[in-house]
Amino acid sequence: MPLEILLVLVIGGILAITALLHLSGRSRVRELTQQTARSEWMRHAPDDVIVDVTIAHDMRSALVRTEAGIGLLWSFGADTVARHLQDFDRINHPEGFRIRFHDFGTPNALVRLDEFERPHWQNLMDTA
Amino acid sequence: MTDQLSFPDAVQWAVPFFIAAILVEFLWIAVKGKGGRYETRDAVTSLVMGAGNIASGFLLGFIAYGFFMWLWQITPLDLGTSIPVIILCFVLDDLRYYWVHRFGHRIRWVWASHVNHHSSQHYNLTTALRQTWTYTFTFMMVVRAPLILLGFHPAMVLFVGGLNLIYQFWIHTEAIGKMPRWFEAVMNTPSHHRAHHGRNARYLDCNYAGVFIIWDKIFGTFVPEQENDRVDYGLVHNIGTFNPLRVAFHEWVGIWRDATQPGLSPRERLAYCFAPPGYSHDGSRQNSEQIKARHLARHPEDRGTPGFEQFEAKSHNTKAKQA
């Protein structure tokens, strides 16, 4: 196949599918509840025993306290990603905290917190 | 001996079909309200990975092709290009695919290339296109050497390899439940391949087939999809990025960081490169056998069921020895 036709097909195809998915509402981010945060954490870390779950007001992050320590669960598109807070940096961000994981495949997560949540989350993370 | 032989690049010619099929699958899911999920950034990442795979073929394909042509120069055999020879080549190349794919899950160096294909938590036709950019660096082209030395022309071997990849495109869907029993018995199907993409303990390291599922049945790696254990797609430790560069290279970076940390023996450094994924020198990580064993500790009722048969055999052996 001529290269120019292949390029048009590939670029045009990606753009068309992207537009279709976005315009049909497939860019919505997963919202967490107490129940879904618990079930999602257990999906990621089935050996854990959850003590309690704190969900951010925007419902996109949850701090999960387990018997093995504390962890962060956050919305990742329509799904979630979870990490135990063991090797991380917490960086202040105008909207809350940015958590850096020192992991090339999971570089960071933005946790959006209001002024009331921020000290509480900071306190919980400091106990990690 | 035939040096100049031309076969079409089947994968490139299939690109319009890929795009059309993705649109059809998406519309099917949208209309029916079942049969899979689509998410914009996940799908775009998969599509960009697919485009990058084609680009890497343009940039690095000459290395494998040069190696194959060198083999073709030294082999005294030439089986020609008759239809039966092409069919035989297709079947043997599928056997080659089974082993390369199995190595891809059991040797971290090869997993570093293949992991990106499993990095989506979705399973739809775009996932099929989430392909590696770094296959050349695995050196798995050597597994094709026997085919060429047996007298299959390199162009034919690459052609049937392309057909193999095209076959595997349509099985990346939840829109198709089960195919007829005879088809499920012989061919790789959406059901068999869904199980392969599962991160559930039961489905780890199973169903490596490309076209014919018989290889898994012959070599003992077949696990049928279970109605009572819905497949959870993705990686044991799902990554948190849609950035294609990070998706393509994250495991290579992980190997580098693990193997170059201070205080390791040369054996431990090599194990970080070539042992099965999940190896760690200090026992801080779990490989697939350990994940299965932990699962059975939580769910002993699963012992001996598909995906956990090896533990049943071990417990029988232990009981026999004790007796």
Would you state the pLDDT for residue B315?
Answer: 54
Angle between helices A3-23 and B40-74 (to 10 degrees): 150
CA distances from B103 to A76, A111, A124, B108, B270 (A): 30, 39, 43, 9, 16
Q: Which residue out of A15, A42, A49, A103 would a mutagenesis test of the B interface target, given it has the greatest number of B Cβ atoms within 10 Å?
A: A103
Would you state the pLDDT for residue B1?
Answer: 56
Chain A to chain B Cβ contacts (< 8 Å) = 107
Would you state the pLDDT for residue B7?
Answer: 85
Q: Is the pLDDT of residue B316 over 80?
A: no
Would you state the pLDDT for residue B318?
Answer: 52
The two tokens of residue B4 are 């100049």
For residue B224, being part of any structural domain is answered with no
pLDDT band per the 50, 70, 90 thresholds, residue B2: low
DSSP A28: P
**A2/B contact by beta carbon, under 8 A:** no
Chain B positions touching A74 (Cβ under 8 A) are 240
Mean pLDDT of A20-24: 97
Q: Which SS3 state, helix, strand or coil, does residue A111 take?
A: strand
Of the listed ranges B7-16, B73-82, B130-139, the one predicted with least confidence: B7-16
Mean pLDDT for chain B overall: 95
Would you state the pLDDT for residue B226?
Answer: 97
Domain final residue, candidates B219, B236, B259: B219
Query: What digits encode the pLDDT tens for the residues B209-223?
Result: 999 999 999 999 999
Q: Mark yes or no for CB contact A105/B294 under 8 Å.
A: no
Amino acid occupying residue B198: G
Q: Is the pLDDT of residue B95 over 80?
A: yes
Would you state the pLDDT for residue B11?
Answer: 87
Query: What digits encode the pLDDT tens for the residues B224-283?
Result: 999 999 999 999 999 999 999 999 999 999 999 999 999 999 999 999 999 999 999 999
**A43/B contact by beta carbon, under 8 A:** yes
For residue B277, being part of any structural domain is answered with no
Q: Mark yes or no for CB contact A27/B232 under 8 Å.
A: no
**A74/B contact by beta carbon, under 8 A:** yes
Would you state the pLDDT for residue A98?
Answer: 97
Q: Which residue of B lies nearest to A76 if distances are taken between CA atoms?
A: B240
Q: Which SS3 state, helix, strand or coil, does residue B206 take?
A: coil
Q: Under 8 Å CB-to-CB from B190, ≥6 apart: which residues?
A: B170, B171, B172, B173, B174, B175, B176, B177, B179
Amino acid occupying residue A17: I
Chain B positions touching A105 (Cβ under 8 A) are 239-241, 246-247, 250-251, 253-254
Domain final residue, candidates B219, B239, B265: B219
> What percent of chain B clears pLDDT 70, i.e. is strictly above it?
95
Domain final residue, candidates B190, B219, B248: B219
d(CA B272, CA B276): 8
Q: Under 8 Å CB-to-CB from B209, ≥6 apart: which residues?
A: B94, B97, B98, B101, B188, B192, B215, B216
CA-based angle B169:A105:A25, to the nearest 5?
60
The two tokens of residue B129 are 């296109």
Amino acid occupying residue B76: P
Query: What digits encode the pLDDT tens for the residues B44-73?
Result: 999 999 999 999 999 999 999 999 999 999
**A44/B contact by beta carbon, under 8 A:** yes
Domain interval for residue B322: 286-323
Query: What digits encode the pLDDT tens for the residues B127-178?
Result: 999 999 999 999 999 999 999 999 999 999 999 999 999 999 999 999 999 9
For residue B321, being part of any structural domain is answered with yes
Q: Is the pLDDT of residue B93 over 50?
A: yes
Q: Is the pLDDT of residue B289 over 90?
A: yes
Mean pLDDT of A91-117: 96
Distance from CA of A89 to the nearest CA of B (A): 16
**A107/B contact by beta carbon, under 8 A:** yes
Q: Mark yes or no for CB contact B37/A1 under 8 Å.
A: no
For residue B268, being part of any structural domain is answered with no
Q: Mark yes or no for CB contact B48/A107 under 8 Å.
A: no
DSSP B35: S
Q: If interface means Cβ-Cβ distance under 8 Å, which residues of chain B face chain A?
A: 9, 12-13, 15-16, 18-19, 22-23, 26, 30, 37-44, 47-48, 51, 54, 121-122, 126, 232, 234, 237-242, 246-247, 249-251, 253-254, 294-295, 298
- Same domain, residue pair B36 and B157: yes
Q: Is the pLDDT of residue B22 over 80?
A: yes
Would you state the pLDDT for residue B9?
Answer: 86
Distance from CA of A38 to the nearest CA of B (A): 16
pLDDT band per the 50, 70, 90 thresholds, residue B195: very high
Is there a contact between B98 and B209 (Cβ–Cβ < 8 Å)? yes
Chain A positions touching B51 (Cβ under 8 A) are 10-11, 14
Would you state the pLDDT for residue A3?
Answer: 86
- Same domain, residue pair B36 and B176: yes
Number of structural domains in chain B: 2
- Same domain, residue pair B299 and B171: no
DSSP secondary structure, B52-91, as one string: HHHHHHHHHHHHHHHHHHHHHHH--------HHHHHHHHH
Would you state the pLDDT for residue B310?
Answer: 83
Distance from CA of B211 to the nearest CA of A (A): 25
pLDDT band per the 50, 70, 90 thresholds, residue B323: very low
Of the listed ranges A51-60, B7-16, B70-79, B84-93, the one predicted with least confidence: B7-16
- Same domain, residue pair B77 and B205: yes
Q: Under 8 Å CB-to-CB from B287, ≥6 apart: which residues?
A: B275, B276, B277, B278, B279
Q: Mark yes or no for CB contact B122/A78 under 8 Å.
A: yes
